[in-house]
């Protein structure tokens, strides 16, 4: 980074620079005028405070150049290791530096201070160059020593030539005491160096100036280490937050899903916002969003535990209100004072039904196919962890083409608007987006929901989960209740054969009949109530057999002498996927096959 004199630039923007103070020091001072040493201390105090303002690498280096040029030098070059060492890490190979050069001097600048002139704007950066000093050369020795030197010091001219890229023409380097090389020495590592140069019209550097340059370099190095550690912690916090969120959303039939997560721009700590989409038996899907109060590692840990608990409870196929009830009990057992809000919705694409329960969270917004919006009226129960319970499930129609948006309060609440105003603005943005977009453009709908918040200054995290309901056509679903009798397996085969023939899937009849017969026969052995058989033809052919027994079958390898035990082995070999899930009424065993003409998934 290069900084050259600009009109009107100074550490304070109005006080005279070192050049003028040095001129004053050359003649007798009248009573009451500050001595040059006192003047240097004032300058150094203002300069170090200015350097400390930087919050990242670029800001810290920029403030160093503003403080050094033109008040202390005419030009400042900054070199940094590439990559920079962080913490206890050793970083890059020693002696390899990268030159950063930015020229901020206007054409024809003479270095004369003009307090009334505006500061000059940055010029385009020149390409960075990698400098490879010899391991035993003057520059490597200077950096190892860690002390600033003047240009007339032994080896300084050669070191400056390496830093400035003028090793082939050393005459271009400012000679003698017009040049200072100050290593940027942090707590345990040399981060680089700063080269300060004065032009012919200014006094030479003195020994006192060497001390000033040393302090500037030291404060800059400490600021760089602070910025690097801050960026590292922010990166770790962001990575931790994102690993606690689902890496990808499922693709269940009958619904499209999209999500957004934006961390707060005012904190490097992780937050407690989360979302999830969990496939359920019967092609249903659970949509979950929650928010743990606070921004800390504890909030993130509680969020991870609650998300895991929700996934476990969803696997039991409980109604939404029971899921929240058990989640509230689990939060109480965690023994934490943190509370959380959570909204749990269950979508059934066959019945086009949405079942929603709320634990102190913001109500979801339903965007209807005609472009109108509806804020779903769901009774807000007590937040998770309070222990009040009283959760209710509300059922509503979810027409094909409608979209549901679940969100956290960071999307609708800010310092200049309350929640109700924010929800109204969200609905307005959704209506505007629906008027000019295709029904399937769910990603664009999410972007419209965020609006200008995507790149703005935010006080809180934002989590958003959107679902576009497509539904499953009734003519692609067949459903029966069958009595648990020995003849039921044959009846299930006949129903399967007739249905697949009606759907034009004759090539799948033989294998599907065999698998249906084995799964139904296994259900008959344990069921005490009518079993259910359901066939669904979506992007795959799916068969589901449910009974009231909680015993989940396990595949085993039968011996040659065994008469049974091969049913699930056949299902495993013939199907694309299969599984068994416990539900509140018992269990469901299912398997899937690819449709003819479609490639099977790995």
* Model pLDDT for residues 570-601, shown as the tens digit of each residue: 898 899 988 888 777 888 899 999 998 765 55
CATH code, 97? 3.30.450.40
Q: Are residues 343 and 412 in the same domain?
A: yes
Q: Are residues 307 and 393 in the same domain?
A: yes
* Model pLDDT for residues 15-38, shown as the tens digit of each residue: 334 334 333 333 334 444 445 667
User: pLDDT higher for 402 or 435?
Assistant: 402
Whether the predicted pLDDT of 102 surpasses 50: no
Q: How far is CA 323 from CA 314, 326, 392, in A?
A: 7, 5, 11
- 599 within some domain: no
Average of per-residue pLDDT across 422-450: 83
> Which position has the token pair 């929240």?
324
Q: 180: exposed, middle or buried (C-beta count within 10 Å: 0-12, 13-18, 19+)?
A: buried
Nearest by Cα to 2 from 112, 123, 118, 119 = 123
Kindly indicate the confidence band of residue 154, based on its pLDDT and cuts at 50, 70 and 90: low
d(Cα 27, Cα 46) in Å, to the nearest integer?
Answer: 25
Contact between residue 578 and residue 572 where contact means Cβ atoms under 8 Å apart = yes
Q: Are residues 387 and 501 in the same domain?
A: no
User: How far from each other are the two terminal CA atoms of the chain, in whole angstroms?
Assistant: 53
d(Cα 193, Cα 144) in Å, to the nearest integer?
Answer: 11
Alpha-helical (H) ranges within 26-155 are 36-51, 57-68, 138-145
Radius of gyration of the chain (CA): 35
Kindly indicate the confidence band of residue 111, based on its pLDDT and cuts at 50, 70 and 90: very low
d(Cα 424, Cα 374) in Å, to the nearest integer?
Answer: 10
Q: Which of 183-187, 211-215, 243-247, 300-304 has the highest mean pLDDT?
A: 211-215
Q: Are residues 341 and 416 in the same domain?
A: yes
Q: Are residues 285 and 399 in the same domain?
A: yes
User: pLDDT higher for 21 or 276?
Assistant: 276
Q: 92: exposed, middle or buried (C-beta count within 10 Å: 0-12, 13-18, 19+)?
A: middle
Indicate the SS3 state at residue 243.
helix
Q: Are residues 418 and 281 in the same domain?
A: yes
Whether the predicted pLDDT of 261 surpasses 50: yes
* Model pLDDT for residues 497-526, shown as the tens digit of each residue: 999 999 999 999 999 999 999 999 989 988
The predicted structure's pLDDT at residue 119: 41
- 284 within some domain: yes
- 152 within some domain: yes
Residue finishing a domain among 432, 449, 469: 469
Q: How far is CA 74 from CA 17, 493, 561, in A?
A: 11, 91, 95
Whether the predicted pLDDT of 175 surpasses 70: no
Q: Are residues 118 and 78 in the same domain?
A: yes
- 600 within some domain: no
Whether the predicted pLDDT of 456 surpasses 60: no
Nearest by Cα to 378 from 408, 426, 343, 349 = 343
pTM score > 0.75 for this model?
no
Contact between residue 83 and residue 91 where contact means Cβ atoms under 8 Å apart = yes
Phi, psi of 505 (to 5 degrees): -110, 50
Kindly indicate the confidence band of residue 133, based on its pLDDT and cuts at 50, 70 and 90: low
- What percent of the chain has a predicted confidence (pLDDT) above 70? 73
d(Cα 438, Cα 72) in Å, to the nearest integer?
Answer: 61
Structural domains counted in the chain: 3
d(Cα 342, Cα 327) in Å, to the nearest integer?
Answer: 10
Whether the predicted pLDDT of 353 surpasses 80: yes
Indicate the SS3 state at residue 483.
coil
The predicted structure's pLDDT at residue 600: 57
The predicted structure's pLDDT at residue 256: 93
Residue finishing a domain among 182, 205, 234: 234
State the average pLDDT for the chain: 77
Other CB atoms within 10 Å distance of the CB of residue 280: 19
Q: Are residues 316 and 431 in the same domain?
A: yes
Q: Which domain holds residue 140?
A: 2-234
- 601 within some domain: no
Q: Are residues 413 and 489 in the same domain?
A: no
- 164 within some domain: yes
The DSSP annotation for 329-364 comes to: HHHHHHT-S--EEEEEEEEETTTTEEEEEEESPPPP
Q: Give 329's contacts (C-beta < 8 A, 6+ positions apart).
A: none
- 261 within some domain: yes
Average of per-residue pLDDT across 260-264: 82
Long-range contacts: 203-207, Cβ < 8 Å, 24+? 203/19, 203/22, 203/23, 203/26, 204/176, 204/177, 204/178, 205/150, 205/151, 205/177, 205/178, 205/179, 205/180, 206/177
Q: Are residues 285 and 197 in the same domain?
A: no
Residue finishing a domain among 200, 234, 268: 234
- What percent of the chain has a predicted confidence (pLDDT) above 90? 27
User: pLDDT higher for 346 or 248?
Assistant: 346
Tell me the β-bridge partners of 524: none
d(Cα 587, Cα 553) in Å, to the nearest integer?
Answer: 10
> Which position has the token pair 């634990």?
359
Long-range contacts: 594-599, Cβ < 8 Å, 24+? 594/540, 594/541, 595/505, 595/508, 595/537, 595/539, 595/540, 595/541, 596/505, 596/507, 596/508, 598/539, 598/540
Q: How far is CA 190 from CA 55, 91, 143, 146, 183, in A?
A: 20, 11, 7, 7, 7
Element (H, E) at 126: none
CATH code, 506? 3.30.565.10
Q: Are residues 262 and 287 in the same domain?
A: yes
The predicted structure's pLDDT at residue 231: 79
Average of per-residue pLDDT across 458-475: 86
Long-range contacts: 486-491, Cβ < 8 Å, 24+? 486/524, 488/520, 488/521, 488/524, 488/531, 489/517, 489/520, 489/521, 489/524, 490/517
Q: 337: exposed, middle or buried (C-beta count within 10 Å: 0-12, 13-18, 19+)?
A: exposed
State both tokens at 287.
């949509």
The predicted structure's pLDDT at residue 136: 67
193: number of CA atoms within 13 Å, CB side? 30
Angular region, 530: left φ>0, alpha ψ -120 to 50, beta rest: beta
- 239 within some domain: no
Q: List the beta strands (DSSP E) in 409-469.
A: 462-469
d(Cα 109, Cα 107) in Å, to the nearest integer?
Answer: 6
Contact between residue 182 and residue 193 where contact means Cβ atoms under 8 Å apart = yes
Kindly indicate the confidence band of residue 47, based on its pLDDT and cuts at 50, 70 and 90: confident
The predicted structure's pLDDT at residue 107: 35
Q: Are residues 320 and 438 in the same domain?
A: yes
């Amino acid at each position: 980074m290069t900084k050259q004199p600009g009109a009107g630039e100074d550490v304070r923007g109005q006080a005279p620079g070192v050049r003028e103070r040095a001129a004053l020091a050359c003649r007798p001072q009248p009573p009451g005028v500050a001595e040059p040493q006192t003047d240097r201390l004032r300058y150094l105090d203002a300069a170090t405070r200015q350097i400390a303002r930087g919050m990242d690498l670029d800001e810290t280096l920029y403030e160093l150049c503003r403080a050094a040029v033109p008040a202390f030098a005419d030009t400042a070059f900054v070199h940094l290791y590439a990559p920079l060492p962080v913490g206890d890490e050793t970083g890059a190979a020693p002696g390899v530096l990268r030159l950063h050069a930015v020229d901020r001097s206007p054409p024809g600048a003479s270095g004369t201070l003009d307090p009334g002139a505006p500061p000059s704007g940055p010029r385009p950066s020149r390409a960075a160059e990698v400098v490879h000093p010899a391991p035993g050369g003057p520059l490597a020795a200077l950096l190892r020593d860690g002390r600033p030197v003047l240009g007339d010091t032994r080896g300084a001219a050669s070191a400056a030539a390496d830093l400035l890229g003028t090793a082939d023409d050393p005459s271009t380097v400012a000679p003698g005491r017009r040049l200072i090389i100050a290593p940027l020495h942090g707590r345990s590592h040399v981060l680089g160096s700063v080269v300060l140069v004065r032009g012919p019209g200014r006094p030479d550097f003195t020994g006192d100036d060497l001390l000033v340059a040393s302090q500037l370099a030291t404060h800059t190095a400490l600021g760089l280490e602070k910025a690097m550690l801050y960026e590292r912690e922010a990166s770790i916090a962001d990575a931790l937050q994102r690993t606690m969120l689902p890496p990808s959303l499922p693709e269940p039939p009958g619904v499209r899903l999209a999500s957004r997560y934006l961390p707060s721009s005012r904190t490097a700590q992780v937050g407690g916002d989360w979302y999830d989409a969990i496939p359920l038996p019967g092609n249903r899907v659970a949509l979950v969003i929650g928010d743990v109060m606070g921004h800390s590692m504890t909030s993130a840990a509680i969020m991870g535990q609650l998300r895991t608990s929700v996934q476990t409870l969803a696997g039991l196929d409980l109604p939404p209100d029971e899921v929240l009830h058990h989640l509230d009990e689990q939060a109480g057992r965690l023994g934490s004072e943190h509370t959380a809000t959570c909204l749990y919705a269950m979508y059934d694409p066959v019945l086009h039904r949405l079942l929603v329960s709320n634990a102190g969270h913001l109500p979801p917004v339903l965007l209807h196919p005609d472009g109108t919006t509806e804020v779903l009226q769901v009774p807000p129960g007590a937040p998770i962890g309070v222990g009040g319970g009283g959760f209710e499930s509300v059922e509503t129609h979810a027409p094909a083409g409608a979209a549901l948006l679940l969100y956290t309060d960071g999307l609708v609440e800010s310092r200049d608007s309350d929640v109700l105003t924010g929800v109204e603005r969200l609905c307005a943005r959704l209506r505007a987006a629906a008027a000019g977009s295709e029904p399937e453009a769910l990603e664009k709908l999410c972007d419209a929901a965020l609006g200008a918040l995507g790149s703005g200054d935010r006080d809180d995290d934002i989590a958003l989960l959107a679902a576009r309901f497509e539904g499953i056509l009734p003519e692609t679903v067949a459903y029966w209740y069958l009595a648990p009798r020995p003849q039921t397996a044959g009846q299930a085969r006949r129903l399967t054969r007739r249905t697949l023939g009606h759907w034009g899937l004759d090539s799948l009849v033989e294998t599907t009949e065999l698998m249906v017969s084995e799964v139904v026969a296994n259900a008959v052995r344990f069921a005490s109530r009518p079993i259910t058989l359901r066939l669904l033809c979506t992007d795959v052919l799916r068969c589901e057999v449910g009974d009231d027994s909680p015993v989940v079958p396990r595949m085993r390898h039968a011996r040659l002498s065994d008469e049974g035990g091969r049913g699930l082995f056949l299902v495993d070999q013939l199907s694309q996927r299969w599984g068994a899930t416990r539900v509140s009424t018992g269990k469901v065993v299912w398997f899937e096959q690819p449709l003819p003409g479609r490639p099977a998934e790995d």
